[in-house]
Amino acid sequence: MTENESNDGRRGAVLTGAARPRRPRSALASNVIALGFVSLLTDISSEMTFTLLPLFLANVLGARTAVIGLIEGVAETTAGMMRVFSGWLSDLWGKRKGLTLIGYSLSALSKPFLYFANAWTTVLGVRFSDRLGKGIRTSPRDALIADSSADDRRGLSFGFHRAADTAGAFLGLAGAAVIVYLAQKHAIALVPEVYRRLVLFAMVPGFLAVAVLALFVRDVERPRGEVARPRLSFGDLDSRFRMFVAIIVIFTLGNSSDAFLILRAQNVGLSVFAIALALVAFNAVYAAVATPAGALSDRWGRTPVIAIAWALYAAIYLGFALARANWHIWALFVLYGAYHGMAEGTARALVGDVVREDQRGTAYGIFNAAVALTALPASLIAGALWEGIGSWPGLGPPAPFLFGAAMSLLALVLLLAWLPTAKVQPPAAPEAER
């Protein structure tokens, strides 16, 4: 065994100091593959129901832009409040699968109620339940992916998961585009009967995802003596992780709900069908970029890949602010897919790099919660900038995107100044706990 191989084994050791068998270098773990299929099926269901939901709210239910921002912000805040607790609980139990299964099941059960929605309050209830399920599942699932991956394949594993997730979004949106085209072709406004038809089609993959998870995903077992009682404390986690979370909060404050991108596309003049096709293109690029970007971060380090992605994000949001023609929107959605493919999996891999294995559930909970909880003020700010609230005059559709571009550039500067560009490795457990 080489010295590097020995070090890899020691990095996989847990609190007793006993090294685990190394995971294969040449293949993704079966858990990672199965969870990829779970996310693929779930995203088929979610994209068919939720991507065009802002248009259903605005065109059918008559909800104002500020109300749409409120619904999206409350939904993401709900998810954020659960992510910390569920991640910590998975560390405490030493088990990830049960909470992940509960979360996916709750989301699958809530979506069919959109078929009966006749007021924005009903939509709020469904979004609350769906995001509650997402909040329960996300941190244990991410920790399970990290637990199932070799240190030098973690970027690849998260990149594959994001690619599978986004392939599901591609398929869901492609299906939605076909249904919309056949029913109303190039109409600008969404027809209620068409949206309800989407909800019915979306039920099947949602429940299939739960079945795949129940049958094919297994917990990564830790010997009983290796499980320490984790504390739900931000200060106990590595300083690099805390620094990254602070920077992510700044970035996310300008990263409002994608509902505003859809509304902006309609504002410029795209039909419902054209918006669906633009989102299909977005997800195709996202899926294509995610896996190679994750693998690239395994070689280059996480910070350079994230930095490039955030610089691209700033250019994209500036483009949305200045867009005047339909082709502008198409090009921007394609670039937006490249940004997501580079940033999402790489950021999750970085979290797994800089915290101990027995703290990953808690760390992913805090990371995901920070992003989700910041989504509420981000969406409220975007809604206010778009149309104004109270005595604050609205600055028009370009305003939220100018704000987002500025915040991403600020976060980029802080990222390059505060985090090293070299590859990072997970810290060892304290000697006192071995």
Contact 271, 419 (CB under 8 A): no
Mean pLDDT of the chain: 80
Task: Summarize the confidence of residues 107-134 as an average pLDDT.
Answer: 89
By C-alpha distance, which of 368, 374, 378 is closest to 406?
378
CA 145 to chain centre: 14
Please report how many Cα atoms fall inside a 13 Å half-sphere around the Cα of residue 44, on the Cβ side: 20
Top mean pLDDT of 19-33, 178-192, 209-223, 230-244 is at 209-223
Q: Quote the pLDDT of residue 364.
A: 86
pLDDT in tens, 58-97: 888 877 777 877 787 677 677 677 877 888 888 888 888 9
Percent of the chain scoring above 90 in pLDDT: 27
Task: Summarize the confidence of residues 152-174 as an average pLDDT.
Answer: 87
At 332, phi and psi to the nearest 5? -70, -35
Distance separating alpha carbons of residues 195 and 201, to the nearest angstrom: 10
- Reported confidence tier of residue 10, pLDDT bands at 50, 70, 90: very low
Q: Which domains does the chain have, with CATH numbers?
A: 30-219+235-426 (1.20.1250.20)
Q: Is pLDDT above 80 for 99? A: yes
Contact 120, 67 (CB under 8 A): yes
Q: Is the sign of the CA dihedral 96, 98, 101, 103 positive or negative?
A: negative
**Going by C-beta distance under 8 Å and a sequence separation of 6 or more, which residues neighbour residue 17?**
429, 434
Q: Is the sign of the CA dihedral 100, 102, 104, 107 positive or negative?
A: negative
- DSSP 3-state of 388: strand
- Reported confidence tier of residue 6, pLDDT bands at 50, 70, 90: very low
pLDDT in tens, 274-323: 887 888 888 889 889 988 988 888 888 888 899 999 999 999 999 998 98
Q: Is pLDDT above 70 for 232? A: no
pTM of this prediction?
Answer: 0.70
Q: Is pLDDT above 50 for 192? A: yes
Q: Are strands 388-389 and 392-393 parallel, antiparallel or unpaired?
A: antiparallel
